[in-house]
Structure 1
Amino acid sequence: MSDTLQITKKDNLGILTFNRPDVFNSFNKELALAVQKALDEFAKDNSVRAIMLTGNGKAFCAGQDLQEAIADNGLEIEQIVDEHYNPIIRQIRSIEKPIIAAVNGVAAGAGANIALACDVCVATESSAFIQAFSKIGLVPDSGGTFMLPRIIGFGKASALMMLGDKVSAIEAEQMGMIYKVFSDDLFAEEAKKIAQKLANMPTKGLAYTKHLLNQSFTNDLNQQLEMEKEWQFKATETHDYKEGVQAFIEKRKPNFKGE
């Protein structure tokens, strides 16, 4: 157990809260490894049907703790990316459960790209997203150059990454970078509501949708159509599909199990 990460479970929802508020939840080795371990445990826990990432204090995550990166006995940047961030991004995209980023404050550098790799990203209206890498001569990592151009388009992503502009949550929503923005006083409640809704849905089908979205990055149309056919058949074999159809016929609320 690490003090840098708070882990809670409630009503089929697993919540990971970055807990280094004094440094705006910037990542160090301890936090990165704690997140990897917790994501792995949530992935294996059948009682957890959705996962939420958020932060304590004024920030979601300010990216890498540069004090660790420049320390005499610290890790090389290449090693940090390879051992800390890349595994987290791969986990977020491969875990067969919906993952929501509840961005409660600034999300900069790797922090921004971790949020954008999630299946759903919501933010408080006072938060902001910054591709901060160019400000210190680095390139975007943590999947940023892969995800952001696909989310908002090549030209806009290129400009934001090179200029390092701060993008308000409202601007991010307007350009399609994130799903929704909530007022600061309603944010915690509304973000939890969305996460809980996902946790109560037919999450096996959501996992199949996530798989198809991942494949769409590299498939052509015909390949994607074939995959949709294949995974649609898989979906019809799930408990939740049968329950959803039966509930519709009986005009009642379905009781999904994520199976």
Structure 2
Amino acid sequence: MTEHLTVTDKDAVRVIRLSRPEKKNAITQDMYRDMSAAIDSAQGNPSIRCLVLAGEPGAFTAGNDLEDFLKDGTSDTGAPRASNAIKFLHALAHNAKPIVAAVDGIAIGIGTTMLFHCDQVIASTRATFATPFIHLGLVPEGASSLLAPWLMGHQRAFSMLVMGHKLDAEEARSAGFVNKVVAPEALEAEADKVAHEIAALPAEAVAASRKLLKHAPEDLMQRIDHESRLFGERMRSAEAVAAFKAFFARKKA
């Protein structure tokens, strides 16, 4: 288990917490691997009835650790990228347990798209949501090209995923992928309350009903893998190479 992720089980709820505050919880390949393991190992465990995804206070996640991500993402020649990030998305697609997300501060890139797989999203008033894929010469991932239009309609999804427009917490709630907005100091308690409310429901009925409401795992997997192929192609494009060079130049300036 990487030091940047903690997994805690209590009262039928598993909390998976990103814990890399010095990097605003930017996700490394090791963190993806351990998040996948935490989700996968819950599937056959009847004592775990609900999952919670959270970050350290002040930031949900800045998305991919780009330096770590670039090491992994540029060698593909056509197949879906067999990275820990993709394995994490596959774990989300196959997950059968309800997921509650507690979002404080920034949720960038996959920090937003993973929320589309969640069943309840609680955001603090200082939460913001951004998917700047196009600005980096890339394409959306995480089945977001399927889930975002389904959740919020084509025009809102286009504005967010293609134009890169950032949403605040209330705008995300209006868009339909945030359930409730609370003060930052109330976020953890509210997410815990919602998770325990779900965990107290009849587990088999919850699982069957959730399955009825969700896209089929095979549809999600097909879209994730299709996006991944395009993503890998875009990573090697002149647009993306130039965008990443400009990004790292700004960081050094």
- Tell whether 2:105 aligns with 1:105: yes
What root-mean-square deviation, in Å, do the aligned CA atoms of Structure 1 and Structure 2 show?
A: 2.1
Deviations along 1:204-259, one digit per CA (max 9) or x if unpaired, are: 1111122112357999xxxxxxxxxxxxxxxxxxxxxxxxxxxxxxxxxxxxxxxx
Give the corresponding residue for 1:64: 64
Shift of 1:62: 1.5
Question: Is residue 5 of structure 2 the alignment partner of residue 5 of structure 1?
Answer: yes
Structure 1 alignment gaps of length 5 or more? 220-259
Match in the other structure for 2:233: none
Q: What is the identity, as a one-letter code, of the residue corresponding to 2:167?
A: V
Name the structure, 1 or 2, with higher relative contact order (CA <8 Å, separation 6+): 2
After TM superposition, the score normalised by the length of structure 2 is: 0.79
Change (3 A) 1:66 1:150: same
Cα distance in 2 between the residues matched to 1:29 and 1:217: 23
Determine the structure 2 residue equivalent to 1:138. 138
Q: Using a 3 Å threshold, how does the CA distance of structure 1 residues 78 and 145 change in structure 2: closer, same or farther?
A: farther
Correspondence for 1:89: 89
User: 1:164-210: per-residue Cα shift (whole Å, max 9, x none)?
Assistant: 11100111111212111111121111111001111111121111122
Q: Which residue of 1 aligns with 2:242?
A: none
Task: Point out the more displaced range, 78-87 or 127-136.
Answer: 78-87
The 2-side partners of 1:12 and 1:217 are apart by 24
Instruction: Look up the SS of the partner of 1:2 in the other structure.
Output: coil
- Quick check: 2:15–2:53 contact (8 Å CA) kept in 1? yes
Distance 1:130 1:47 in 2: 35
Please tell me the residue identity of whatever aligns with 1:126: R
CA distance in 2, matches of 1:193, 1:67: 37
The 1:214/1:174 distance shift into structure 2, 3 A limit, reads: closer
The structural deviation recorded for 1:136 is: 1.3
TM-score (norm: length of structure 1): 0.77
CA contact (8 A) 1:81 1:141 kept: no
Alignment of 1:44-63 (within 5 A): 44-63=44-63
The one-character-per-residue Cα deviations of 1:19-46 (angstroms, maximum 9, x if unpaired) are: 1111111111110001011111122222
1:123-151, CA deviations, whole angstroms, 9 ceiling, x for partnerless residues?
11110110121221111111211111100
Distance 1:81 1:204, change over 3 A: farther
Q: CA deviation at 1:81?
A: 5.2
Counterparts of 2:75 and 2:170, CA distance in 1? 33
Sort the Cα spacing of 1:159 and 1:57 in 2 relative to 1 into closer, same or farther, 3 A.
Answer: same
Residue identity (%): 27
1: CA distance, partners of 2:205 / 2:74: 38
- Deviation string, structure 1 residues 74-111 (Cα, Å, up to 9, x no partner): 21257695423333233224222211111122111011
* Residue ranges of structure 2 left out of the alignment (5+ in a row): 220-253
CA contact 1:63–1:111 (8 Å) conserved in 2? yes
- In the alignment, the residues of structure 1 paired with residue 115 and residue 75 of structure 2 have an alpha-carbon distance, to the nearest angstrom, of 21
Change (3 A) 1:12 1:217: closer
Secondary structure, counterpart of 1:132 in structure 2: coil
Larger radius of gyration: 1
